Structure 1
Amino acid sequence: CQVDALYICDGVLYLFEVKNWTGAFRLNNGEFLGGSACPLAQLNRSRKILERVLWNLRISVPVEMRLVFMGPGVCLYGLRQEDPILMAHQLPKFFEGLRRQNRRFIQRSDIQLGERLVQCHVADNPYRKLPPYSSKTVASGIMCPNCRVAMRPYHAKNLICGDCGFNELKKNSLRRSITELDLLFPLEKQRVHQIYQWCDGLVSKRLIHKQLGSKESAQLNE
Structure 2
Amino acid sequence: MGVLWMSFMLKERMESEELMLLRLLKARGGLVDDSRFWNLEKGYQGEMLFDKWFSGVDGEWIVVNDLLLEHGGSLFQIDSLVIGGDRVYLFEVKNFEGDFLLEKDRWYSGSKEIKDPLSQMQRCETALRQLLSSLGYQLPIESSLIFINPEFTLFNCSPKLPIIFWSQLNRFCHKLLKQSASSGKLHARHSRLAEKLCELHMEKSPYERLPEYRYEELRKGIVCVGCGGMGVRHHYRMIECESCGSKEALDTALLRSINECRSLFPQIKISTKIIHDWIGETVSKKVIQRVLQINFSLIGYGKSANYVKETQRLIRTDIKA
User: CA–CA distance in 1 between the matches of 2:200 and 2:163?
Assistant: 27
Aligned partner of 2:99 in structure 1 is 24
Aligned partner of 1:95 in structure 2 is 173
Instruction: Determine if the alignment matches structure 1 residue 4 to structure 2 residue 71.
Output: no
SS in 2 for 1:184: coil
1:67-121 CA deviation, whole Å, 9 max, x = no partner?
1111121111111111111112322321321222333554214333323322222
> Using a 3 Å threshold, how does the CA distance of structure 1 residues 121 and 3 change in structure 2: closer, same or farther?
same
Aligned partner of 2:127 in structure 1 is 49
Aligned partner of 1:77 in structure 2 is 155
Letter in 2 for 1:94: F
User: CA–CA distance in 1 between the matches of 2:101 and 2:176?
Assistant: 29
Q: Is the 8 A contact 2:88 2:142 kept in 1?
A: yes
Aligned partner of 1:177 in structure 2 is none
Larger Rg: 2
> Using a 3 Å threshold, how does the CA distance of structure 1 residues 190 and 66 change in structure 2: closer, same or farther?
farther
> Using a 3 Å threshold, how does the CA distance of structure 1 residues 49 and 68 change in structure 2: closer, same or farther?
same
Q: Is the 8 A contact 2:100 2:155 kept in 1?
A: yes
**Larger RCO: 1 or 2 (CA < 8 Å, sep 6+):** 1
Q: Is the 8 A contact 2:107 2:114 kept in 1?
A: no
1:188 alignment partner, one of 215, 225, 229: 215
SS in 1 for 2:229: helix
**Superposition pairs for residues 198-217 of structure 1, below 5 Å?**
211-213=229-231
User: CA–CA distance in 2 between the matches of 1:7 and 1:79?
Assistant: 26
1:125-179 CA deviation, whole Å, 9 max, x = no partner?
4xx499xxxxxxxxxxxxxxxxxxxxxxxxxxxxxxxxxxxxxxxxxxxxxxxxx
TM-aligned CA deviation for residue 30 of structure 1: 4.6
**Superposition pairs for residues 42-191 of structure 1, below 5 Å?**
42-101=120-179, 102-104=181-183, 106-108=185-187, 109-125=189-205, 128=206, 183-185=210-212, 187-191=214-218
Letter in 1 for 2:202: V
User: CA–CA distance in 1 between the matches of 2:182 and 2:218?
Assistant: 59
> Using a 3 Å threshold, how does the CA distance of structure 1 residues 122 and 96 change in structure 2: closer, same or farther?
same
Q: Is the 8 A contact 1:18 1:67 kept in 2?
A: yes
Aligned partner of 1:40 in structure 2 is 118
> Using a 3 Å threshold, how does the CA distance of structure 1 residues 29 and 7 change in structure 2: closer, same or farther?
farther
Equivalenced residue count is 151
TM-aligned CA deviation for residue 60 of structure 1: 0.7
Q: Is the 8 A contact 1:14 1:65 kept in 2?
A: yes
Aligned partner of 2:88 in structure 1 is 13
TM-score, with length taken from structure 2: 0.41
TM-aligned CA deviation for residue 10 of structure 1: 2.5
User: CA–CA distance in 1 between the matches of 2:201 and 2:156?
Assistant: 36
TM-score, with length taken from structure 1: 0.57
Q: Is the 8 A contact 1:13 1:63 kept in 2?
A: yes
User: CA–CA distance in 2 between the matches of 1:37 and 1:94?
Assistant: 25
1:44-87 CA deviation, whole Å, 9 max, x = no partner?
11111111211221211111211111112111111111111111
List runs of 5+ in structure 2 lacking aligned partners. Answer: 1-75, 220-227, 233-238, 242-247, 257-321
List runs of 5+ in structure 1 lacking aligned partners. Answer: 131-179, 193-209
User: CA–CA distance in 2 between the matches of 1:129 and 1:26?
Assistant: 27
User: CA–CA distance in 1 between the matches of 2:216 and 2:171?
Assistant: 49
User: CA–CA distance in 1 between the matches of 2:160 and 2:229?
Assistant: 45
Q: Is the 8 A contact 1:12 1:63 kept in 2?
A: yes
Aligned partner of 1:220 in structure 2 is 254
